[in-house]
């Protein structure tokens, strides 16, 4: 199935006859996500309902015509490479989307054996071992490098937006919810869309931030939560020195976390430096 720039008129095929809904998976700030089955082949999908008032669009040329396409659609197609990438990319794949009068629907791949990282941590006593965290973190860094390389700035990397496929001994990472994302650009951003608890310190200090350093900061916050087990990370508490790194962690791990959570973005490691860090060896 391909993206339909306009599928709101009664004469065009619509989603509802082709899928069946099984129940709500998640309530998000800008919509709700439901589990469903594609009726043609029973493929399991996730159906995201987004109120039209919350949809940000971008003019896009398709077949010589200009259409206003939801930004989230464009980001997902770039990050996951469309229906042909089902199960292959770290980002979950967008299968189709529909533009109705009151809402936009996104039909996405649903990794059925996955649980979000927040619940995965709770199921494992609130924290993981360094080896377990290392496997997840390495995949997150590689996924972030891939997304930024194709111009996608997720902007809301956190445990709730990371799925873990637990079918094998080495859980696989999948990235979801591109609703706060945007295209990468050279000049700094001044307005923030995402979870304020994980916003980079430069946003509060200077009112500006960039894609790469912000992504590294959020990965550092995720790494902290993977290994701490006692409390959630917030940028404000870290800046007030209310969050301390676990001194029981290996020196390499503490060093990596400090590189990710450097308050000055110019002193923060980049993604390539993180991937080459001794902790991953």
Residue ranges for the binding site for ATP? 25-33, 48, 109, 116
Active site residue 156: yes
Q: Which residues are annotated as a binding site?
A: 25-33, 48, 109, 116
| pLDDT per residue as tens, the chain (281 positions) | 333 333 332 223 333 434 445 566 665 556 799 999 988 888 899 999 999 999 999 998 888 889 899 999 999 999 986 666 677 789 999 999 999 999 999 999 998 889 999 999 999 889 999 999 999 999 999 999 999 999 999 999 999 999 998 887 778 999 999 999 999 999 999 999 999 999 999 999 999 999 999 999 999 999 999 999 778 999 999 999 999 999 999 999 999 999 999 999 999 999 999 999 999 98
The answer to whether 69 touches 57, Cβ cutoff 8 Å, is yes
The separation between the first and the last C-alpha atoms of the chain, rounded to the nearest angstrom, is 41
Q: Where are the domains of the chain?
A: 19-109, 114-280
Burial level of 208, CB count in 10 A (0-12/13-18/19+)? middle
According to CATH, the topology of domain 19-109 is Phosphorylase Kinase; domain 1 (3.30.200)
Residue of 54, 131, 156, 228 marked active site: 156
Residues 141-157: pLDDT tens digits?
999 999 999 999 999 99
**CA max distance for the chain:** 64
Q: What dihedral angle (degrees, nearest 10) is formed by the CA atoms of 230, 234, 239, 240?
A: -60
Chosen CATH of 114-280 out of 1.10.3720.10, 3.30.1370.60, 1.10.510.10, 3.40.640.10: 1.10.510.10
Q: Per-residue pLDDT tens for 52-69? A: 999 999 998 888 889 899
């Amino acid at each position: 199935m391909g993206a339909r720039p306009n599928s709101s008129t009664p004469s065009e095929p619509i989603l509802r006859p082709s899928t069946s809904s099984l129940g709500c998976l998640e309530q998000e700030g800008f919509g709700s996500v439901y589990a469903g089955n594609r009726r043609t082949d029973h493929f399991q999908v996730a159906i995201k309902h987004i109120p039209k008032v919350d949809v940000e669009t971008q003019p896009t040329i398709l077949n010589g015509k200009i259409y206003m396409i939801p930004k989230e659609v464009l980001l997902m197609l770039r990050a996951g490479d469309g229906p042909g990438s089902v199960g292959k990319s770290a980002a979950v794949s967008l299968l189709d989307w529909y533009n109705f009068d009151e809402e936009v629907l996104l039909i996405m791949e649903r990794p059925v054996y996955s649980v979000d990282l927040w619940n995965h941590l709770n199921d494992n006593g609130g924290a993981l071992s360094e080896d377990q965290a290392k496997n997840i973190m390495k995949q997150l860094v590689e996924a972030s490098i891939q997304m930024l390389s194709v111009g996608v700035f997720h902007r809301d990397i956190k445990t709730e937006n990371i799925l873990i496929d637990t079918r094998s001994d080495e859980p696989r990472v999948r990235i979801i919810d591109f609703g706060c994302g945007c295209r990468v650009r050279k000049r700094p951003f001044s307005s923030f869309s995402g979870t304020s608890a994980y916003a980079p310190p430069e946003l509060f200090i200077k009112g500006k931030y960039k894609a790469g350093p912000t992504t590294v900061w959020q990965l550092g916050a995720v790494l902290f939560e993977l290994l701490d087990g006692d409390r959630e990370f917030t940028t404000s508490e870290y800046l007030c020195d209310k969050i301390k790194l676990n001194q029981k962690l290996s020196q390499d791990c503490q060093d990596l976390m400090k590189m990710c959570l450097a308050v000055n973005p110019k002193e923060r490691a980049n993604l390539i430096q993180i991937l080459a860090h001794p902790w991953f060896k």
